[in-house]
Structure 1
């Protein structure tokens, strides 16, 4: 199998060297070149044809955001992993980058030049492997006739429900999730009549920027959740990075720093399982794009408690990992492409 070819872009020579060393030490991948800014990347991209680009967010001459705009204009589909600082500005720009098509991102622990970034090596390598797989899938799809995504219903599908029986929606996502969640939430009306809880795998420092950008473009109010806050209908709660979000018996949001689950915190399963205990058959769950299997166990528990479960169809997923793991449990009521999920939710709520 050919190595995954990576092009590393950063304005810091030290950072370029550190990132390159991390990648070259990993089996099955290699750095084929580096660039010190976006202009240099644009000059090299077509000639080198990398499988993955690691891209610094803040650079002189042309930053990461401007690069992605050029990629979009020129229909360059190379998967991009952003490297961002933990500053407020860096977080806001990173959210824009994800909306423009960046596959994923990593946070730099402290500023643009930091030896601490070595602790992120495992995460960097894992995300490059996923991005490399995404590139291969895209290449194979270009030779296939693309069919309309099928809608699947499982034998567990619920019978017709009466108006108002569903009391809450829980949503889980990882890689590709910010863009998918934006599409879903902005398609819903202001008077939904129930709360929505979302776990998006994202580090601390970025979920506030994500919630703010979502709130500015949605009919519903979107907030980063806070500990012991009251749950209000027509409000969307985003789990803060670094904290598991759960619902307690008093129907309040609780946040905790218990050990990671599936290597992540917040974890989708933590939210799904706790919400199922509170809402029972009145709960709807949605598993969107993402790597891994977080949310599969929660999906089983929600279905067994009488709730309704949905997973995103492979055709619209950035990474078909979490939705597939949920579907493979046999407890998914319906498999839908992303653009059909809002209408399905409204039908279930009879809005």
Structure 2
């Protein structure tokens, strides 16, 4: 049985969520109306996974998440709105240690629960199996257990990891190569960890397919732009590929590489039904292979459930391109990168903290 704690101040939401998981037959469920009750249940019920609403009285979701990760870390799925404000809070939650998120229905909750339910169950099941880094806020946890501090909700810092000056280009230089990154569950912190280690003069463009709703990818791009030395933007309209730039694919659509008279471009494209997740990593890699020689491409597949990207990157590797799969030891969910490894398509298998150096080495040898 999976021990699930549902934390929400809405009686209707608790009843609907409880009904979805009770019907599955393998969930043992407890409820909390706010963050204070959730912390009590954390030690009494000892959940395997938690769904956590953001806006609650007495103690909100971020403050509660902060204490969960210090007192008894376990996988947390945030329940977020589809608004830009909801996206911003969710991204802060990832920094504090949340594994994934689900979005509240925009219309009557009871009417949409039938279609939302299966995805909700999949998300929570995968989160229950997710791997929390043993080093996650370890120093703070030790101080708390030693009685040396009474922590307040953590503030996520705004920082630029690289001390190198940012390179601002008014005109796109020719793209001699391209880095393609695919990521899903646990992706925002993983992207931060990789992109923040790349220098401001990184010579190739980078395109990211992160599975997310359309209202989330813009805030994600702006957040990453503040956290790393590279220029990060959301790819919507056709944009020339420029070195030292990162292009985050628009959510609820696909991101593809095209060609214009003055060179290759990145753009959003309507999603295709044959791809389950969007932006599709497989479709991104396939489009890039139409316009770049395989030895001019580096494919990176990181944490995420499912297999998106594995087929296309395995083909890229077979044709002479470079591929990197995140190692199981660091991946929150070793689904996508694990499938690439199983297909024999990973040239390099590396933990998260080594991926940036591996990318730099591949670019230097090209």
* Alignment TM-score > 0.5, same fold: yes
TM superposition shift of 1:195: 0.5
TM superposition shift of 1:135: 6.7
Counterpart for residue 15 of structure 2: 17
Asked if structure 2 preserves the Cα contact closer than 8 Å seen for 1:261 and 1:267, the reply is no
Q: How many residues align?
A: 322
TM superposition shift of 1:254: 2.8
1:269 to 278, 282, 285: 282
TM-score by length of 1: 0.87
Counterpart for residue 4 of structure 1: 2
Asked if structure 2 preserves the Cα contact closer than 8 Å seen for 1:276 and 1:305, the reply is no
- Structure 2 residues not aligned, in runs of 5+: 135-173
Asked if structure 2 preserves the Cα contact closer than 8 Å seen for 1:86 and 1:111, the reply is no
* SS of residue paired to 2:252: coil
- Structure 1 residues not aligned, in runs of 5+: 139-163
Q: Give the distance between the partners of 1:293 and 1:270, measured in 2 at CA.
A: 13
Q: Give the distance between the partners of 2:305 and 2:117, measured in 1 at CA.
A: 17
TM superposition shift of 1:188: 0.8
Counterpart for residue 34 of structure 2: 37
Stretch deviating more after TM superposition (194-203 or 107-116): 107-116
Q: Give the distance between the partners of 1:345 and 1:213, measured in 2 at CA.
A: 22
Asked if structure 1 preserves the Cα contact closer than 8 Å seen for 2:4 and 2:28, the reply is yes
Counterpart for residue 156 of structure 1: none
Change over 3 Å in CA distance of 1:228–1:332 after alignment to 2: same
Partner deviation per Cα, 1:259-312 (whole Å, 9 max, x = no partner) = 244421211001011112212220001000111110111112221332101100
2:182 to 158, 168, 172: 172
Q: Give the distance between the partners of 1:29 and 1:190, measured in 2 at CA.
A: 48
Q: Give the distance between the partners of 1:246 and 1:81, measured in 2 at CA.
A: 29
- Select the structure with the greater relative contact order (CA < 8 A; seq sep ≥ 6): 1
Q: Give the distance between the partners of 1:214 and 1:291, measured in 2 at CA.
A: 22
2:124 to 125, 128, 131: 128
Q: Does 1:243 align with 2:253?
A: yes
Counterpart for residue 256 of structure 1: 269
Change over 3 Å in CA distance of 1:261–1:239 after alignment to 2: farther
Asked if structure 2 preserves the Cα contact closer than 8 Å seen for 1:85 and 1:112, the reply is no
Partner deviation per Cα, 1:181-210 (whole Å, 9 max, x = no partner) = 111011111100110000111112111111
Partner deviation per Cα, 1:121-180 (whole Å, 9 max, x = no partner) = 111100111122237999xxxxxxxxxxxxxxxxxxxxxxxxx99611000011111111
Asked if structure 2 preserves the Cα contact closer than 8 Å seen for 1:180 and 1:338, the reply is yes
* SS of residue paired to 1:314: coil
TM-score by length of 2: 0.83
Q: Does 1:283 align with 2:297?
A: yes
Q: Give the distance between the partners of 1:135 and 1:253, measured in 2 at CA.
A: 33
Counterpart for residue 102 of structure 1: 98
Counterpart for residue 337 of structure 2: 323
Counterpart for residue 158 of structure 2: none
* SS of residue paired to 1:30: strand
TM superposition shift of 1:236: 0.4
Partner deviation per Cα, 1:100-141 (whole Å, 9 max, x = no partner) = 111100111227966424421111100111122237999xxx
Q: Give the distance between the partners of 1:246 and 1:136, measured in 2 at CA.
A: 32
Q: Give the distance between the partners of 1:205 and 1:112, measured in 2 at CA.
A: 20
Change over 3 Å in CA distance of 1:24–1:88 after alignment to 2: same
Partner deviation per Cα, 1:1-50 (whole Å, 9 max, x = no partner) = xx11111011111111111111111132232x111111110111111001
TM superposition shift of 1:99: 1.5
Spell out the pairing of 1:209-224 with structure 2 (5 A cutoff).
Answer: 209-224=219-234
Asked if structure 2 preserves the Cα contact closer than 8 Å seen for 1:165 and 1:282, the reply is no
* SS of residue paired to 2:66: helix
* SS of residue paired to 1:59: coil
Q: Give the distance between the partners of 1:186 and 1:210, measured in 2 at CA.
A: 14
* SS of residue paired to 2:215: coil
Q: Give the distance between the partners of 1:319 and 1:333, measured in 2 at CA.
A: 20
Counterpart for residue 83 of structure 1: 79
Q: Over aligned residue pairs, what C-alpha RMSD do you find?
A: 2.1
